[in-house]
Amino acid sequence: MAQPLEKVDRRDAKLALAHLFVAFAALALGGFAGLLQTLVRSGKFELPAGISYYTILTTHGVLLGLVLTTFFIIGFQFAAVSRTTGALSDGSRRLGWIGFWMMTSGTACTAFFILTGQASVLYTFYAPLQAHAGFYIGLALVVVGSWVSGFAMFAHYARWRKTHRGQVSPLLAFMSVTNMVLWLVCSLGVAATVVFQLIPWSLGLTDRVNVLLSRTLFWYFGHPLVYFWLLPAYMVWYAVIPKVIGGKMFSDSLARLAFILFLLFSIPVGFHHQLLEPGISPFWKYVQVVLTFMVIIPSLMTAFAMFATFESYGRSQGATGLFGWLRKLPWSDARFFAPFVGMLFFIPAGTGGIINASHQLNQVVHNTIWVTGHFHLTVATTVVLTFFGASYWLIPHLTGRVMTKAMNRLAIIQTIVWAVGMTFMSGSMHFAGLLGAPRRSAFSTYGNSPQALEWIPYQIAQAVGGTILFIGIILILVIVINLAFFAPKGETEFPVAEAAAPYERAALALENWKLWIGLVVALILIAYTVPIVDIIQNAPPGSKGYKLW
């Protein structure tokens, strides 16, 4: 396998850093909105100046779910490809900057319309709720900008392969490319509904919208979106954490296979978000639920690989007994501790996902705040804690600084604060959801109905958790600002692990993109063609737009 390069090129570092700064700015603003939401839902606090709950809920979801994640991921991936396959060419870097500015101006446009109360349609922007056209146009710019960045990565990877014929590409580059292929294929769905349905409708060019079609196109994008968030966390788990703990990666081929399985199975499954939606035949829901259970397999493979990595390392250090290896792990190193806590939370988070995907159980939890609890464990804990853990080496690597012991200690405290806050908030969301508390709703006692009154203590616990989490946001921002501008100058490693078996050579077939993309297209056509034709052919007249805020 080719020797990985040691450092990210300085010009690529700037590009990556620019993305990370926007991501953390989104975290600051979106996190503050989150704090306000939990306070409002406790029933003990009202927003001043007539600000709508739904305005801050939209701000929170868009900035954290869409902006923080997309910017962090693209910045991280630019750094990863530059580190492992060499400096970007001038052309690719220019494309990267064009993508960055398109995404940033799109975000500014969307944020303007949300903050001025003209787009309180939440992050899923379900029709027939209708936002100002500027909201959709801004989002379209973000998506197209991310494609431009994706093309920059593809071009760089293609150049590397041309000059390294017959070689397997470095793992992090392979993973970044897989994630961008997944993103490109799935975001075609959201681009289609935004460009062909929602923008003309919000501009008044069309009067009515096919609601079911727009939701179906949204979820064609919306579920793979969650794996677009998850895969960079898995990149850190597979390719970085083994090096951080001083061990080796369990298997390079297993990691690649897991990523290919995500590419294949994460897209044709959107109906598991629409299991209670009328207008889609139960047969097609069943097909997509089966495919959903397929996409659980690569996560189970990842759990296996992580356990194997940790146990092999512990045993190599002389650990004995069933769990003796746990004691050998570097608990005081925040680069390991934060992602590890993320992994731990993924066990209940993933279990919750399997419950959601089970058709009958979905009837109990759908549209309840249980689902909000589920995604705060998955994306807001597993993924985000891993991103924080990665920032502890990535930012100083890119800025030419080193993390001090004091900052490392603060990062450990930050992780604990996050875990405690999320246990309160997400735990009570799960319980309240089981008692029927709805999601996407402001505080209400529903005319003091006894059932709604049961939810109040859980909503207060959510506010307690939300407040603790906000302290966690302040802590991470202090650390990030320190690492970017104030930490002592020096060299920080971008850790990249070696495979346990150095002679292991991943099958070149895993990089046969024609084969994998062909299979992806075939699976999508099987899962979606008949239902979409049906949704279009048997469509009701469509709906006018509503502005209910």
Using CB under 6 A, list all residues that contact ligand HAS. Answer: 124, 226, 229-230, 272-273, 292, 295-296, 299-300, 302-303, 306-307, 326, 343-344, 346-347, 350, 353-354, 356-357, 362, 366, 371, 374-375, 378-379, 383
Q: How many CA atoms are closer than 13 Å to the CA of 379, on its beta-carbon side?
A: 19
- Considering the complex, state which of residue 113 and residue 325 has its C-beta at the smaller distance from ligand HAS: 325
- Considering the complex, state which of residue 347 and residue 525 has its C-beta at the smaller distance from ligand HAS: 347
Shortest CB 544 distance to ligand HAS, Å: 24
Q: Which residue is nearest to ligand HAS (CB)?
A: 350
Number of Cβ atoms within 10 Å of the Cβ of 516: 18
- Considering the complex, state which of residue 102 and residue 432 has its C-beta at the smaller distance from ligand HAS: 432
Q: Compute the distance between CA of residue 310 and CA of residue 110 in angstroms, rounded to an integer.
A: 43
Q: Could you tell me the CA-to-CA distances from 9 to 6, 87, 397, 418, 487 in Å, in that order? A: 9, 5, 11, 33, 20
- Considering the complex, state which of residue 136 and residue 154 has its C-beta at the smaller distance from ligand HAS: 136
- Considering the complex, state which of residue 211 and residue 407 has its C-beta at the smaller distance from ligand HAS: 211
Shortest CB 74 distance to ligand HAS, Å: 16
- Considering the complex, state which of residue 154 and residue 271 has its C-beta at the smaller distance from ligand HAS: 271
Shortest CB 199 distance to ligand HAS, Å: 22
The runs of H, that is alpha helices, within 317-333 are: none
Shortest CB 87 distance to ligand HAS, Å: 31
Would you say 245 and 330 are in contact if contact means Cβ atoms under 8 Å apart?
Answer: yes
Q: Which amino acid is at 385?
A: L
User: Which of helix, strand or coil describes residue 125?
Assistant: coil
Shortest CB 278 distance to ligand HAS, Å: 15
DSSP state, residue 392: H
User: Which of helix, strand or coil describes residue 209?
Assistant: strand
Would you say 398 and 8 are in contact if contact means Cβ atoms under 8 Å apart?
Answer: yes
Shortest CB 353 distance to ligand HAS, Å: 3
Would you say 92 and 152 are in contact if contact means Cβ atoms under 8 Å apart?
Answer: yes
405 by Cβ neighbours in 10 Å (0-12 / 13-18 / 19+) ranks as: exposed
Largest CA distance in the chain: 71
| Catalytic (active-site) positions | 223, 227, 374-376, 439-440
Shortest CB 363 distance to ligand HAS, Å: 9
Contacts of residue 239, Cβ cutoff 8 Å, sequence gap at least 6? 171, 172, 175, 249, 255, 496, 497
Cα(first)–Cα(last) distance of the chain, in Å? 57
> What per-residue string of b and e applies to 262-296 under the rule 16 or more CB within 10 Å gives b?
bbbbbbbbbbbbbbeeebbeeebbebbbebbeebe
Shortest CB 484 distance to ligand HAS, Å: 26
Number of Cβ atoms within 10 Å of the Cβ of 96: 28
Would you say 545 and 201 are in contact if contact means Cβ atoms under 8 Å apart?
Answer: yes
- Considering the complex, state which of residue 141 and residue 383 has its C-beta at the smaller distance from ligand HAS: 383
- Considering the complex, state which of residue 214 and residue 292 has its C-beta at the smaller distance from ligand HAS: 292
φ, ψ (nearest 5 deg) of residue 423 = -60, -45
